[in-house]
Structures are given as structure tokens and as C-alpha cells.
């Protein structure tokens, strides 16, 4: 009988705790010391590649008997960003609009980089493989080759932007560009590295529909502005991967820019590893009505 009584009392106590927790969660008052934002460190290991390939032909003149000379050719260009970004201080929201209720107006926090990010490790490159025509008329022929550039980033040139939700406390996405300002280091007989990189970045933009708020080379952490940031209320460190592959809604066929161009394809592949580490939490200093 005593055992039965003890079990009954324990069960009642447990139900009281659960009921109390539920009541607090749905309370009309946001309690004092509630975590609504955090100061964090962020590390992003980016490894993404944009490839642009075209085929076609070049007109080289005419033969001795008057026939047009066409030489088949094309190029395959590869822009590879492999670099680690580190942000020592970013202020981020960790509470949802539902948790804050009416207090969101007073406790709104936008993700803000308070200490500029930097590139810690970098092995980024630009490459092209080509087949072009050389000579004229009967002497025209195809030659093939390749060029390679190392991309040297300008220190502290990384840009971080935030896209806010139309309604709600947390932003819709948190986009970090790993591009910065880069100097291609290398030489090539058929192409200028800076001009080639600029043209490729422009073409890469065609892969992404405007409503994605995304481009190459960027990391858009759509869940990081909601689920992952929210997890920092209770977890000191949150890790996850972002798939950088060409979005399903994007087109892998690029425009033909001349009569001599016969095909053009492009796309992005890769992943980004993200680590968010909480330094400390910002807590409410008083109670608020939800």
C-alpha cells in the first residue's frame, strides 16, 4: 500500500511539473532572463566550383579552291573557391516570433557582424582548357592548351548580408558571400584572368532565380536563420552542411552569344560546412507581455 501511495504521489508530481512547463510556455508573460539573442562565432568551410563549357567553331578564311575553313573548338572554364571564413563576433536572434509575441517589437535583433570576418585558409583557383584556331586559310589549324591562376583574396574584403522575412522576428535567410576581392595570379596566352573571372561570375548569376536571394559564391543558410539559430538557445555549438549544387529551379543551359557558338552549359557543385558557436546569451532584464 505504501508503494502504491508513493507511486501515485510521484506521478502526480510529474504531471504537475509537465502542466507547469506547458503553462509557462503558453503564458501571456515573457519571463525575466528569457534568452532572445546570442553573441556567436561562425566558421564557414566553403568548397564550391562553377563550371562553364561551350563548343563551336571559328572561321579561318577560305581554301585555295574557295571553300570556307571552319575549325571546331571550345573551352571549359572552372572557378573554384575553397576557403574558410571566420567571424569572431556576430549577434544573432535565438527566439522565435511566437516565443516573443508582442515583446518582439522591443527585443528585435538583426544578425549583425560586429567584428569583420576574415579568410583563414584559401586554395581558390581559376582554370581554363581551350581549343582555338591558329593561322589563316589553308594554314589554319586547331591548337589546344590550358591556363591556371591562383586567386589571391584581399584581406578583410568578405561581405556579409542579411535578408529579413516579410513578417516574423527571424530573417528569412542569412547569406554570406565568400567572394571578396580577388587577384588572379598567373599568365595565359588566350585569356586575361581578371576578365575571365568577372565574366564567369556574371554568367553564374543566371543559374539562380531572383526569389532565391542567392548567387555564386554565396552560402544562404535559410534554416540557419530559424532552426539553427533557435537551437543556440540551448546548444553551445551547432554544425550543419549546405548543399551548393545548382538549384533545381535554375537553368544549366547558358545563352549562345554568337553564330559560331553551338552549345553552352554551366553549373555549380559543392558543399559548405557551417559551425556556429555560442559565446553568450542576451537575456531579458524584465518580464514582458507577449
Q: What is the pLDDT of residue 236?
A: 96
Q: CA 157, CA 160: separation in Å to the nearest integer?
A: 10
CA nearest neighbour of 76 among 219, 252, 265: 265
How does DSSP classify residue 166? S
Q: What is the pLDDT of residue 16?
A: 44
Q: What is the pLDDT of residue 247?
A: 75
Please enumerate, as own/partner, the contacts of 144-148 that have beta carbons within 8 Å and a separation of 24 or more.
145/189, 145/190, 147/186, 147/187, 147/188, 147/189, 147/190, 147/191, 147/193, 148/186
203 in Cβ contact with 255 (< 8 Å): no
CB atoms within 10 A of CB 36: 24
106 in Cβ contact with 286 (< 8 Å): no
182 in Cβ contact with 126 (< 8 Å): no
Q: What is the pLDDT of residue 2?
A: 43
Residue numbers in the chain where pLDDT is lower than 50? 1-24, 165-170, 224-225
Q: CA 255, CA 218: separation in Å to the nearest integer?
A: 23
How does DSSP classify residue 67? P
Q: What is the pLDDT of residue 1?
A: 43
Q: Which three cell numbers stand for residue 13?
A: 508530481
Q: What is the pLDDT of residue 201?
A: 93
Q: What is the pLDDT of residue 65?
A: 87
Q: Is this model's pTM higher than 0.95 or not?
A: no
Q: CA 43, CA 221: separation in Å to the nearest integer?
A: 13
Q: What is the pLDDT of residue 160?
A: 66
Task: For residue 108, give every residue at least 6 positions away whose Cβ sits within 8 Å of its Cβ, in sequence order, or none.
Answer: 93, 169
172-183 tens-digit pLDDT: 667 778 888 899
Q: How many Å is the Cα radius of gyration of the chain?
A: 28
Q: What is the pLDDT of residue 72?
A: 94
Please enumerate, as own/partner, the contacts of 9-15 that have beta carbons within 8 Å and a separation of 24 or more.
none
Q: CA 281, CA 261: separation in Å to the nearest integer?
A: 57
- Continuous H helices in 184-254: 193-204, 229-231
E-strand spans in the chain?
A: 29-30, 35-62, 68-93, 112-115, 118-122, 125-134, 141-153, 160-163, 173-177, 182-185, 218-220, 237-243, 261-283, 288-289
Amino acid at each position: 500500500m505504501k508503494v502504491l501511495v508513493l507511486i501515485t504521489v510521484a506521478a502526480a508530481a510529474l504531471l504537475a511539473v509537465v502542466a507547469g512547463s506547458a503553462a509557462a510556455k503558453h503564458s501571456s508573460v515573457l519571463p525575466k532572463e528569457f534568452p532572445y539573442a546570442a553573441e556567436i562565432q561562425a566558421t564557414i568551410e566553403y568548397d564550391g566550383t562553377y563550371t562553364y563549357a561551350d563548343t563551336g567553331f571559328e572561321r579561318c578564311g577560305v581554301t585555295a579552291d574557295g571553300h570556307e575553313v571552319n575549325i571546331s573548338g571550345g573551352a571549359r572554364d572552372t572557378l573554384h573557391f575553397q576557403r574558410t571564413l571566420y567571424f569572431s563576433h556576430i549577434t544573432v536572434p535565438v527566439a522565435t516570433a511566437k516565443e516573443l509575441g508582442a515583446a518582439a517589437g522591443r527585443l528585435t535583433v538583426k544578425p549583425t557582424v560586429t567584428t569583420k570576418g576574415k579568410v583563414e585558409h584559401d586554395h581558390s583557383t581559376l582554370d581554363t582548357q581551350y581549343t582555338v584556331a591558329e593561322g589563316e586559310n589553308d594554314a589554319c589549324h586547331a591548337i589546344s592548351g590550358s591556363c591556371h591562376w591562383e586567386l589571391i583574396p584581399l584581406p578583410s574584403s568578405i561581405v556579409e548580408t542579411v535578408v529579413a522575412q516579410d513578417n516574423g522576428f527571424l530573417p528569412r535567410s542569412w547569406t554570406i558571400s565568400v567572394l571578396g576581392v580577388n587577384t588572379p595570379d598567373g599568365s595565359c596566352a588566350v585569356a586575361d584572368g581578371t576578365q575571365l573571372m568577372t565574366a564567369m561570375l556574371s554568367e553564374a548569376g543566371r543559374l539562380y532565380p531572383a526569389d532565391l536571394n542567392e548567387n555564386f559564391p554565396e552560402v544562404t543558410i535559410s534554416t540557419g536563420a530559424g532552426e539553427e539559430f533557435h537551437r543556440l538557445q540551448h546548444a553551445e555549438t551547432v554544425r550543419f552542411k549546405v548543399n551548393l549544387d545548382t538549384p533545381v529551379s535554375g537553368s544549366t543551359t547558358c545563352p549562345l552569344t554568337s553564330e559560331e557558338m553551338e552549345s553552352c552549359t554551366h553549373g555549380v557543385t559543392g558543399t559548405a560546412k557551417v559551425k556556429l558557436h555560442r559565446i553568450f546569451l542576451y537575456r531579458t532584464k524584465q518580464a514582458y507581455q507577449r
